[in-house]
Chains A and B, each alone.
Chain A
């Protein structure tokens, strides 16, 4: 089991519904977010290229945050999901420093918090909140170890990329380009 998210940058309109859905579902404190939408603009007028990406924790297979955690609070659970056990976290900030995607933050209560791929929903057979609300259906979630899954099929058929592959973290969030 290896959960992954595949996001179609050609379909995303940057509405930020995924961000609000996550904040609501996970009770994210005001002023914080576990996912966000990036607009990346390249080229010069009139040849301008815009890419919209809904970004979050990449649930990396070689996750530096898990390696750097001194207490083992950051760990990988079934399906390759990276989570933080709140009452094992001492709030040292090592994982935040180690994340090339700046996907973690210190919760106002002191522990470090981040995207969980909504595993509380996934274990019930539901989709992560962000995926389930996307109005353009540009986000897909599934098991990469299963060849017939939607995400596996999409990655077979479409051109795709991951963010900062040179950081060597083997991310599990893919962007179709």
Chain B
């Protein structure tokens, strides 16, 4: 390995000594986007399957989190733009090669849809609630008629949104830690898992709680599987990727990765959920909250660690 030195002096803010262009808003957004995608995916799926009476929490209650998550996430994204007043430029063009461009367009459709979903369920959740304006009632009736259509639209949109949060990172081949094809599916699975965890928190019946406990357990196992594959991919990869992996294997992100993501975010909640399935009494909120924290830490770790990795020349 050669020793490299800037002899002309170079200390550009957020670039040197290593890249730190994306701060906390980006991983926060990636987490909230994945969470909203997960919640709305299950709401749409169970609506299409006609299980509205069996999982009322997942279809009516939990989706109220989705538009809040999306709006906070979008706010964070906007906050991170350094040339904020020009953000509308995103919507003057569609660039299919740029994941960020189609992410912006998917969100353009997803945001109103998530609001509409909450809008048609709000009076079912709060029966005493009355709309302040009369003209809102016919809109509500109209949207309710097309609820299943909305659900069908949400299925592909939520999958695209969930997978895009990972592909956004993996499209950058300049950052070896990000540049692997499994990151998209991993973030999608993690998003669905956090969505299922949120559904556990909002579950109205023990049937619903158990159902989402089961789903979450399955998703956690898939996620662990993807993480193992990701690590194998780094080991089999070029030197730049091996060096990137050192950050997680003995480097400065090791504790964050093994304790907070693998241990407390995946394995421990999986064990608790498995015990619950076997009939043991577990307070279901514990694994759900751990999964949510683990999902958030995963995004923060990938964004922060990824920016420290680069090509070596």
Q: Could you list which residues of chain A lie within 8 angstroms of chain B, going by C-beta atoms?
A: 14, 16, 19, 31-33, 35-42, 52, 64, 67-73, 87-94, 96-100, 102, 104-106, 109-112, 163-164, 166-168
Contact = CB atoms under 8 A, between A and B. Distances in A.
B84 A166 contact: no
B86 interface: yes
A97 B86 contact: no
B171 A68 contact: yes
B90 A42 contact: no
Contacts of A87: 86
B172 interface: yes
B100 A98 contact: no
Contacts of A68: 97-100, 171-172
A106 B238 contact: no
B173 A33 contact: no
Given A100-B311, A163-B313, A91 B83 contact: yes
Nearest to A51: B2
B307 interface: yes
Contacts of A163: 313
Contacts of A19: 8
Contacts of A94: 98, 100, 172
B128 interface: no
B12 A98 contact: no
Contacts of A32: 12-13
Nearest to B88: A90
Contacts of B80: 92-93
Given A40-B2, A88-B89, A163-B313, A14 B95 contact: no
Contacts of B14: 105-106
B11 interface: yes
A111 B7 contact: no
A68 B99 CA distance: 7
B15 interface: yes
Interface string B1-39: 011111111111111100101100000000000000000
A76 B87 CA distance: 21
B4 A39 contact: yes
B254 interface: no
B134 interface: no
B240 to A, nearest CB: 8
